[in-house]
Amino acid sequence: MEIALLVLEYLKVLVWPAVVMVGILIFRRSLRALISRIRKGSGWGVAIELEGDADQLAAESVQLPELKGKTHSQTEDPPQGSDRESRLGRVLTAWSAVEREAAALASRLGLIPRTNLGVLSRELLAKDLVSGETAKVMNGLQQLRNRIVHTADTVDLTDATVEDFVLTSRNLSGVLSALQPPKPVD
């Protein structure tokens, strides 16, 4: 009887580590993807650097097929000692330019005017006006913008993140401004 109670006590102690291990094994791919995106974290205020995502989008935006053979936009040097508000302001200014180009493009194409790049990218992809890579960058920039704006008070927005966001925005603005309606087939 004492052996059975001892075994039961061991099982009680070992069940949680076993559940955690099984969970890690089941969700290892999702956890690996999540961990690879996190560059920096802090306490309960949940400040996460978005540098990795912004850097990846900037690198992808430079390689967009629609920009082949064109000079790439460069961002100007950020002002020394820029604070959180000026970095956020640069992100919002860059985003506004992308939204204006998206609305102008929708108007040129006779689409419902949209500033949601996710929706617009699907429409452009369906009409075969942009590449899959461009649609991916459009969606990624929309998601990054949402994360920055909706967590502005807790995000550690670095100068590098801002520069990458601005570069990606300028590249996308260039792609969107160059798109024209398809010529009618006679």
Q: Is residue 75 part of a domain?
A: no
Whether 27 and 63 share a structural domain: no
Whether 131 and 152 share a structural domain: yes
For 101-151, the pLDDT digits (tens) are: 988 888 888 887 766 788 888 888 888 888 889 889 999 999 888 888 887
Residues in the chain: 186
Whether 33 and 122 share a structural domain: no
Whether 184 and 153 share a structural domain: yes
Q: Is residue 180 part of a domain?
A: yes
Q: Is residue 109 part of a domain?
A: yes
Whether 20 and 111 share a structural domain: no
Number of domains in the chain: 2
Q: Is residue 73 part of a domain?
A: no
Whether 23 and 6 share a structural domain: yes
Q: Is residue 8 part of a domain?
A: yes
Whether 19 and 96 share a structural domain: no
CA distance 19 to 58: 40
Tokens standing for residue 18 = 């076993």
The pTM (predicted TM-score) of the whole model is: 0.61
pLDDT above 80: residue 177: yes
Pick from 30-39, 132-141, 148-157 the range whose average pLDDT is largest.
132-141
pLDDT above 90: residue 169: yes
Residue 72: CB partners within 8 Å, gap ≥ 6? 62, 167, 171
Whether 23 and 59 share a structural domain: no
Whether 26 and 103 share a structural domain: no
Whether 102 and 26 share a structural domain: no
CA distance 41 to 47: 5
Exposed/middle/buried for 147, CB within 10 Å: 0-12, 13-18, 19+? middle
Instruction: State the distance between the two ends of the chain, measured CA to CA, in whole angstroms.
Output: 91
Q: Which DSSP string do the residues of the chain spell out, in sequence order? A: -HHHHHHHHHHHHHHHHHHHHHHHHHTHHHHHHHHHH-----TTTT----HHHHHHHHHHHHT-GGGTTSPPP-PPPPPTT--HHHHHHHHHHHHHHHHHHHHHHHHHHTPPP---HHHHHHHHHHTT-S-HHHHHHHHHHHHHHHHHHHTTTT----HHHHHHHHHHHHHHHHHHHH--PPPPP-
Whether 22 and 102 share a structural domain: no
Q: Is residue 77 part of a domain?
A: no
Whether 33 and 62 share a structural domain: no
Q: Is residue 153 part of a domain?
A: yes
182 near 109, Cβ under 8 Å?
A: no
Structural domain range at position 5 = 1-37
